[in-house]
């Protein structure tokens, strides 16, 4: 039973585990004030070309989102998100639990546009309503789509003009940056957002998201926020070691490229067979539309998540590939397809 | 420069890392719904003799504290703690950030007593004040002391009589249970508390605290709370694998015994030289009182934390040993002592 | 310049002020533990035929909403509301500030239906999402519409079947209950909801909402919640005196009937002239659609709020009548209409 | 049965009620954007000699405290208070419910000193602990004492040096400013604090506290905070009218002077009979120490609150006078004393 359920079904790239083994008995300073974390931060600063960025490596994505948003907003302020945004549906109200409304905008492809942001601003006119102050976007998005440089520049321009913070959730940043249609670099993203993160959990680390704060307003006392939300890992060097490996020898990009390549094979096979997709993704998440009978057959050989009902007899499913997805797994799926 | 700064300066016991390596490429279900976690939970249920306990393994202690307390209390309810309690001083207001007051009681040894709990209850008489509803204790405590069975029974009895939840923070449970003066078992603790946890981070795991819920009132929807606070690890089997190892072949207790044995050697040497202690600890944290000059000399060869000022010329420091503390490190410290 | 801006532009009915004057120098017990409040509660219990209801009179509507919802929900639970619900748009995120997500459902007339509630339930399937636990409805709604007995019974039935609390915001309860199409009594509402309130602020009191808790699960420690949110008025008897007057000699219903009668005159005049309405209201809020030029003219003689853009040249406005709206004010408006 | 229970047992000064009656049927703009509120704000600005102060009139003290503190602090920041501070004991954890720890310092007279503030600062050294950012003091204090100009200057100086906001709760400001030992003016207080309020509820208004924000950092978006916490009164002009009356013709000071004069008579009579006091108060709250038998006798003729146990046979009680306390009531008490 091969799994295309998600991109966090396996452990970590062997080079990461090896580095953890080699340093296992060395005494380290706790709470991310160790030499590995410092080195990882230097590597990332160099990659993004922002020597003054504040960088904190945090274990998980929901944690990173709730810490960042609650640190940035005053009590009456809200964050604008796509309806499909992770913070809006899949974090059990984590943002609201810190006191802030998520202003969820309908989109057709999981991406916010300047126009949608403007709509949210225009609706919120006075003190009887929350005040939008941050824009949250994901790249790649929860439905596998991604932002082009032109799109991100337009959002960034509007946010700066309107005094909004632009926050990019990069839990699947690797998949976005190594997609065939990508035209963004980490340095571009660093120059266009106020804060963003680079996801390790979904790209070959055991866990870990590197949060990068560019806007000086968001920097003060950030470690207090991490600690208060229970996210300051005692053995914080484990995060540092993992990002050292990810940003040495291109490992981060190589793993994401592999995930995308595996998805590409699936996409080609699906397209060749004439299947359509609920969303037009070039990254490691695919949302093919199948008949419900076919889905039932598929579920006997593979695990995956349901996406949504398309019509009475069809639904879309979600197939996810990862750094660890095997050619064999993909071939097995393509063989299954041949029956249709 | 040998470190006695804390018990989380090294990685994990080699058996734990080995288990992680061996399963690294196996596809697992995420979010702690995997077979390793299930197995670890079975091992712990058996150890504590509570087949109906709900068990959740969470990455860190502050997380575990804030999730447990905020899940248990209604908005107007408060938790009673020693002034020295971790939740009162060293979690950056994590409990208050979830909306709840910590009622901090002065103690001389870091331990709550029935009398102190009664004082808190008697002071809070009506709806103009918060309502105490939970009692938080640590075993071993933040100052190295520990509860005897008689003491815990008395607290438990009072809590049940008064309708208070009794919550034991077991971040250093191993040190408590393997101390020479301990007379409690995990099964005793499970029968006397409403909820407690067994700490892995400070006893040879990379991270992980096994939270054990005994009281049925505290069980419903607990996974929602874990997710909302950002503590549901994607690759949750990493927690399961670690607790499988800890509760097989006595590893948890063996590691804690080693830490205590190393502290015992230090204690004997200190006592032999006539030094006194700020707190009377039989666990892996010692708080010797030294002259400030001696502390300055010590800091040239060892790292450790300051505890508090005793008088104009003396202070107490904190020395912590761990599962990984070496005989050599201890001997080196004893050699240092000989100069005094 | 006559105002149809809202139903809280004038003070209180003279009988209410008279009662406050007469008791002004009598010494009273504070914090709503006085004889006037007790008497008012008795009058309301009798009116709703629920001798065991817990009743608390609170100064304002946003306060009442946020206290009730945060007292009822555990941290991971959410409240379902119409998109137009007061808690969703006009309370500056008050509910989110207590930690809870508002699940906003699109409606065409401001009213929730069993089907919409079911949609919300079906979408929220597991611990990665919030858990719907309460249904919030307003009667009359924010757009002037109201629930029939059949509609409320259907909602109530579904809520009981699914374990959801049904909460009715009655800030404009008087307008609903005295509308020509109403078939509900306060006793009906008390038997069909878990908690609801009767609004004084928008029906001739200086301030005050009488919150009525029917479901025993929602009763414990409610005064703690009122105090914690800053809503326990020191001179609480001021609330009691007002509700004594409202529920003696039919004053509450008489004032609401007057407001509805004034709106009825406006509606008839508008309908006669062929104007349409954005919402089909039989209560004291009307939403006529006018050309933008006509609105500009109207604004020279009357104050009112804009509702929304209908098309490039038309918008709807909101006209509100109250217990204090004068026949002269209404006639003046009708005279204005004659020009069109 | 005459009541010395508190200073909010009666309604409002007749001039205030008269003003409310006279304007009752005038249509006003809601939410404190009316001409009475504007006028009241002008009167206060002139009184405090701060034309740029932002002033908001809010119904109650707990509300005012929780709004001000939660508006000022970032999530990891805390407020320093005396143990006896209203926010620490008598607001049901209202401050913690907004997410912030109250750092409570033991005092002997209810007053914070620079030394106590420094102690709090020195204890909180890093991101594992909350960050003190605001100092909360009450004048007069909860135990009837008050700040001298020298004391307030010293606190103010320290706060400015250390970057702490100084917030004065003036629920009983009138009693402080008209006490025989007072040497502060409202203008002094406005120049020495960052934010403070002038209490109406406990000095002859039906309700209302005028919050005065001096520090520009605390001004932005404050009305959002008021609304979010449910404290924006629909008929806000009721607050404006009351403060218009209070700050015309010296009414605010005259009423407070009367309360203090009545307390002065009681104090003289008590001192003449040789009774001692738990706190040395020159304001409208007295804390005489009586034998428990005498207290039982007293309770047959007067109502009052218990303060605390002094020894096995003695306790202190709290006697409070107000703007409405009658000479007859005071004489009756003095007659009672003659029996001892």
Q: Which of C171, C161, C143, C94 is nearest to C277 (CA)?
A: C143
| C-alpha–C-alpha distance, residues B117 and B132, integer Å | 9
Same-domain pairing of B72 and B103: yes
Candidate from C11, C21, C92 with C-beta closest to D23: C11
Q: Are residues D301 and D240 in the same domain?
A: no
State whether B189 and B329 are in the same domain.
no
Task: Output the CA torsion sign for C94, C95, C99, C103.
Answer: negative
Q: Do C100 and A96 touch (CB under 8 A)?
A: yes
Contacts with D101 from chain A: Cβ below 8 Å: none
The CA distance from B28 to the nearest CA of chain C, in Å, is 18
Using CB atoms, pick whichever of C89, C90, C101 lies closest to residue A96: C101
β-pairing verdict for C209-213 and C305-309: unpaired
Beta strand pairing call for A314-320 and A289-291: antiparallel
For residue D195, list its beta bridge partners: D167, D213
Contacts of D93 in chain B (CB under 8 A): 76, 78, 99-101, 130
Domain final residue, candidates B228, B246, B264: B246
Do B217 and B315 belong to one domain?
no
Name the H helices within chain D: 14-22, 35-48, 61-72, 86-89, 94-97, 114-123, 149-162, 173-177, 186-192, 222-228, 237-246, 251-272, 292-298, 327-338
* Residue A332 forms part of a structural domain: yes
Angle ∠(B178,B181,B186) on CA atoms, nearest 5: 45
Question: Residues of C near A (CB-CB distance < 8 A)?
Answer: 75-76, 78, 89-93, 96-102, 127-130
Where chain D has pLDDT below 50, the residues are: none
The answer to whether residues C33 and C50 belong to one domain is yes
Of the candidates A17, A94, A235, the beta carbon closest to that of B207 is on A235
Nearest to C93 among A78, A89, A97 (CB): A78
Last residue of a domain, one of B199, B227, B246: B246
* Domain membership flag for residue A251: no
Find the domain containing A299 and state its range.
Answer: 2-7+256-338
C219-265, pLDDT tens digit by residue?
Answer: 999 999 999 999 999 999 999 999 999 999 999 999 999 999 999 99
Which residues from A are below 8 Å from D when comparing CB atoms?
70-71, 74-76, 98-99, 127-128, 130-131, 221, 223-228, 232
Are B97 and B134 contained in the same domain?
A: yes
- Which residues lie across from D320 on neighbouring strands? D285
pLDDT for D178: 98
D172 CB-near residues (< 8 Å, 6+ apart): D7, D138, D139, D140, D199, D202, D203, D283, D284, D285
Residue-wise pLDDT for C2-43, tens only, equals 999 999 999 999 999 999 999 999 999 999 999 999 999 999
**C97 vs D25, D30, D228: nearest CB:** D228
The share of chain A scoring above pLDDT 90, in percent, equals 99
Smallest CA-to-CA distance from C66 within C33, C99, C37, C111 is with: C99
CATH classification of the domain holding C143: 3.40.640.10
Q: What is the pLDDT along chain B (340 residues), one digit of tens a residue?
A: 899 999 999 999 999 999 999 999 999 999 999 999 999 999 999 999 999 999 999 999 999 999 999 999 999 999 999 999 999 999 999 999 999 999 999 999 999 999 999 999 999 999 999 999 999 999 999 999 999 999 999 999 999 999 999 999 999 999 999 999 999 999 999 999 999 999 999 999 999 999 999 999 999 999 999 999 999 999 999 999 999 999 999 999 999 999 999 999 999 999 999 999 999 999 999 999 999 999 999 999 999 999 999 999 999 999 999 999 999 999 999 999 998 8
Strands D77-82 and D102-105, sheet pairing: parallel
The answer to whether residues A151 and A35 belong to one domain is: yes
Based on the domain organization, do D180 and D89 belong to the same domain?
Answer: yes
Residues 6+ apart with CB under 8 A from B89: B83, D129
Hey, what are B266's tokens? 């230090």
Report chain A residues touching chain C, CB-CB < 8 A: 75-76, 78, 89-93, 96-102, 127-130
Contacts of B269 (CB under 8 A, 6+ apart): B333, B334, B337
Q: Look at residues A246, A272, A296 and tell me which one is the last residue of a structural domain.
A: A246
pLDDT in tens, D279-315: 999 999 999 999 999 999 999 999 999 999 999 999 9
For residue A102, the chain C residues in CB contact (below 8 A) are 101
Domain count, chain A: 2
State whether A98 and D76 contact (CB < 8 Å). Answer: no
Residue C148 confidence (pLDDT): 98
Which of C131, C223, C228 is opposite residue B75, by nearest beta carbon? C228
Question: DSSP for C25-72?
Answer: TS---STT-SHHHHHHHHHHHHHHT-TT-EEEEES-HHHHHHHHHHHH
* pLDDT tens-digit map of A307-340: 999 999 999 999 999 999 999 999 999 999 999 8
Residues in D touching C17 (Cβ below 8 Å): 17, 20-21, 24
pLDDT tops 90 at residue A137? yes
Cβ separation A100–C96 shorter than 8 A: yes
Instruction: Supply φ then ψ for residue D154, to 5 degrees.
Output: -65, -45
Contact B93 D102 (CB under 8 A): no
Q: Judge if D272 and D240 occupy the same domain.
A: no
Tokens 């010692």 found at: B286
| pLDDT score of A133 | 98
Q: What are phi and psi of B252, to 5 degrees?
A: -55, -50
**For testing the chain D interface, which of A66, A75, A133, A217 should be mutated: the one with the most D CBs within 10 Å?**
A75
Same domain, B236 and B255: no
Task: Show contacts of B148-152: CB within 8 Å, 24+ apart.
Answer: B148/B181, B148/B183, B148/B184, B149/B183, B149/B184, B149/B188, B151/B111, B151/B113, B152/B184, B152/B188, B152/B189, B152/B192, B152/B193
CATH assignment of the domain containing D307: 3.90.1150.10
**Matching residue, tokens 């006075």:** A126
* Chain B contact residues (CB < 8 Å to D): 75-76, 78, 89-93, 96-102, 127-130
Contacts of A294 (CB under 8 A, 6+ apart): A340
Interatomic CA distance for residues D200 and C311, integer angstroms: 49
Identify the closest residue of chain D to A68 by CA–CA distance. Answer: D75
Predicted local confidence at residue B340, as pLDDT: 87
How near does any CA of chain A get to the CA of B298, in Å?
Answer: 18
State whether A224 and D71 contact (CB < 8 Å). no
* Cα–Cα distance, D133 to B206 (Å, whole number): 35
Same structural domain, D143 and D291: no
DSSP 8-state secondary structure symbol assigned to residue B45: H
Whole-number pLDDT of residue D281: 97
State the smallest CA–CA distance between residue D330 and chain A in angstroms. Answer: 47
Closest partner CB to B228 (pick from C75, C224, C228): C75
Chain B residues inside the 8 Å CB shell of D89: 129
- Chains within contact range of chain C (3+ C-beta pairs < 8 Å): A, B, D
ipTM value for the complex: 0.97
- Option in B8, B20, B91 nearest A30 (CB): B8
| Cβ contacts from A onto C, under 8 A | 52
Question: CB C131 to CB B221 under 8 A?
Answer: yes
Angstrom distance (rounded) from CA C233 to CA B324: 59
Banded pLDDT at C340 (limits 50, 70, 90): confident
- What share of residues in chain D are helix, strand, coil (percent, to 5)? 40, 20, 40
Q: Answer whether D99 sits within 8 Å of B100, measured CB to CB.
A: no
Mean pLDDT over C272-293 rounds to 97
Verify whether the Cβ–Cβ distance B229 to A227 is below 8 Å: no
Q: Which residues from A are below 8 Å from D127, CB to CB?
A: 221, 223-224, 226-227, 232
Average pLDDT of chain A? 98
The Cα-based distances of D65 to B297, C96, D171, D209, D225 in angstroms read: 49, 20, 10, 10, 12
What would the pLDDT profile of A59-103 be if each residue is shown by its tens digit?
999 999 999 999 999 999 999 999 999 999 999 999 999 999 999
Q: For C94, which of D60, D207, D228 is closest by C-beta distance? A: D228
Q: Which long-range contacts (CB under 8 A, 24 or more apart) does C251-256 make?
A: C251/C13, C251/C15, C251/C204, C252/C174, C252/C198, C252/C203, C252/C204, C253/C174, C253/C177, C253/C178, C255/C13, C255/C174, C255/C203, C255/C204, C255/C323, C256/C174, C256/C175, C256/C177, C256/C178, C256/C203, C256/C284, C256/C323
Among B25, B75, B229, pick the best mutation site for testing chain A contact (most A Cβ within 10 A). B229
Are C99 and C179 in the same domain? Answer: yes
In terms of Cβ atoms closer than 10 Å to its own Cβ (0-12, 13-18, 19+), residue A160 is: middle
Confidence (pLDDT) at B253 = 98
- Mutation site, D19, D27, D332, interface C, largest C CB count within 10 A: D27
Q: CB pairs below 8 Å between A and B: how many? A: 147
């Amino acid at each position: 039973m091969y799994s295309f359920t998600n991109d966090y079904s396996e452990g970590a790239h062997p080079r990461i585990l090896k580095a953890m083994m080699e340093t296992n008995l060395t005494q380290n300073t706790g709470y991310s004030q160790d030499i590995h974390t410092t080195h990882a931060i230097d590597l990332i600063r160099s990659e993004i070309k922002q020597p003054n960025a504040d960088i904190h490596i945090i274990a998980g994505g929901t944690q990173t989102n709730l810490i960042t948003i609650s640190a940035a907003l005053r009590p009456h302020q809200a964050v604008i998100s796509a309806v499909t945004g992770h913070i809006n549906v899949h974090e059990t109200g984590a943002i609201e639990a810190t006191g802030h409304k998520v202003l969820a905008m309908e989109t057709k492809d999981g991406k916010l546009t300047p126009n949608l942001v403007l709509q949210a601003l225009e609706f919120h006119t006075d003190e009887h309503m929350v005040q939008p102050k941050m824009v949250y976007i994901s790249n790649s998005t929860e439905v596998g789509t991604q932002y082009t440089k032109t799109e991100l520049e337009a959002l960034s321009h509007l946010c700066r003009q309107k005094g909004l913070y632009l926050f990019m959730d990069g839990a699947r940043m690797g998949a976005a940056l190594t997609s065939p249609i990508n035209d963004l670099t980490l340095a571009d993203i660093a120059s266009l957002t106020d804060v963003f993160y680079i996801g390790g959990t979904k790209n070959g680390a055991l866990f870990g998201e590197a949060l990068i704060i560019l806007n000086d307003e968001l920097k003060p006392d950030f470690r207090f926020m991490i600690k208060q939300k229970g996210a300051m890992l005692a053995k914080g060097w484990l995060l540092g070691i993992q990002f050292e490996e990810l940003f040495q020898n291109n490992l981060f990009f190589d793993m994401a490229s592999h995930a995308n390549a595996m998805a590409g094979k699936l996409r080609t096979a699906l397209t060749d067979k004439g299947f359509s997709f609920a969303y037009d993704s070039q990254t490691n998440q695919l949302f093919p539309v199948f008949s419900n009978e076919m889905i039932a057959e598929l579920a006997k050989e593979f695990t995956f998540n349901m996406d949504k009902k398309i019509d009475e007899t069809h639904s879309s499913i979600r197939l996810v590939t990862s750094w660890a997805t095997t050619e064999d797994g993909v071939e097995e799926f393509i063989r299954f397809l041949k029956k249709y």
